[in-house]
Amino acid sequence: MFACIFIPDFSVQAIIRFEPELRARSVAVLTGRPPLEKVVALNESARQTGVEIGATKSQLEAWENLVLRARSVSQETSAHAALLDCAQSFSPEVEDTAPGTVLLNLAGLEPLLGPLPKIARNLAQRVSQMELEANLAVAANPDAALLAARGFPGVTLISEGREAEQLGDLPVDVLLESFSSSFSSSFSSEAKDAARWAETFDRWGIRKLRALAALPEVPVSERLGQQGLHLQKLARGAASRNLRVLEPRLIFAESVELEYPIVLLEPLAFLLNRMLEQVCSRLRVRALAAQELHLHLELAATQPNGCASFTQTSTRAWTSNFTRTLRLPAPMLDAKVFLKLLQLDLQAHPPGAPIVKIHLSADPARPRALQSGLFQPVFPEPEKLELTLARIAGIVGEGRVGSVELLDTHREGAFALRHFAPGEPAPAEPETKHEVNQSGNRKQDKSIQENNSACQSAEELEENAKETMSAVIALRLFRPPLGASVTVRQAKPVRMRCLERDDIAGEIVWTAGPWRSSGDWSEQEGWSREEWDIAVLAESSCQLPVPSCPSNEREPTTGNRQPATRLVLYRLVQDKLSGNWFVEGMYD
Instruction: Provide the pLDDT for residue 309.
Output: 37
Ramachandran sector of residue 92 (left: φ over 0; alpha: ψ -120 to 50; beta: rest) = alpha
In total, the chain counts a number of residues equal to 588
Q: What is the CATH number of the domain that holds 311?
A: 3.30.1490.100
Instruction: Provide the pLDDT for residue 302.
Output: 57
Q: Which of 340, 365, 390 is the last residue of a domain?
A: 365
Q: CB–CB of 365/270 below 8 Å?
A: no
Residues 162 and 74 occupy one common structural domain = yes
559 pairs with which residues across the strands? none
Residues 277 and 204 occupy one common structural domain = no
455 domain residue, yes or no: no
Q: Is the pLDDT of residue 448 over 50?
A: no
Q: What is the CATH number of the domain that holds 165?
A: 3.30.70.270
Strand-strand pairing, 155-157 and 135-139: parallel
Q: CB-based contacts of 491: which residues, under 8 Å, 6+ apart?
A: none
Instruction: Provide the pLDDT for residue 421.
Output: 65
Enter the pTM of the model. 0.57
**How many separate domains does the chain show?**
3
Residue type, 460: E
Instruction: Provide the pLDDT for residue 72.
Output: 87
pLDDT, average across residues 58-63: 85
202 domain residue, yes or no: yes
- How far is the C-alpha of 83 from the C-alpha of 96, rounded, in Å? 10
Residues 220 and 256 occupy one common structural domain = no
504 domain residue, yes or no: yes
Residues 166 and 260 occupy one common structural domain = no
Q: Which of 333, 365, 397 is the last residue of a domain?
A: 365
Residues 228 and 275 occupy one common structural domain = no
Q: Is the pLDDT of residue 347 over 50?
A: yes
Instruction: Provide the pLDDT for residue 296.
Output: 92
Q: Which of 335, 365, 395 is the last residue of a domain?
A: 365
Q: How confident is the model at residue 179 (pLDDT cuts 50, 70, 90)?
A: low
Residues 179 and 290 occupy one common structural domain = no
Q: Percent of the chain having pLDDT more than 90?
A: 6
Q: Is the pLDDT of residue 225 over 70?
A: yes
Instruction: Provide the pLDDT for residue 549.
Output: 37
Which of these ranges, 272-286, 328-342, 436-450, has the smallest mean pLDDT?
A: 436-450
SS (H, E, C) 224-283: HHHHHHHHHHHHHCCCCCCCCECCCCCCEEEEEEEEEEECCHHHHHHHHHHHHHHHHHHH
Q: CB–CB of 499/547 below 8 Å?
A: no
Residues 63 and 120 occupy one common structural domain = yes
Instruction: Provide the pLDDT for residue 403.
Output: 78
Q: What percentage of the chain's residues is helix, strand, coil (to nearest 5)?
A: 35, 30, 35
Q: Which residue has the higher pLDDT, 492 or 190?
A: 492
Per the structure, the complete domain to which residue 268 belongs is given by 252-365
Q: Is the pLDDT of residue 16 over 80?
A: yes
Element (H, E) at 577: none
Residues 209 and 83 occupy one common structural domain = yes
Residues 303 and 335 occupy one common structural domain = yes
Residues 29 and 124 occupy one common structural domain = yes
170 domain residue, yes or no: yes
- How far is the C-alpha of 300 from the C-alpha of 115, rounded, in Å? 53
Residues 209 and 273 occupy one common structural domain = no
Neighbours of 143 (CB within 10 A): 27
- How far is the C-alpha of 317 from the C-alpha of 301, rounded, in Å? 9
Highest mean pLDDT among 116-120, 226-230, 329-333: 116-120
Q: CB–CB of 148/117 below 8 Å?
A: no
Q: Which residue has the higher pLDDT, 413 or 170?
A: 170
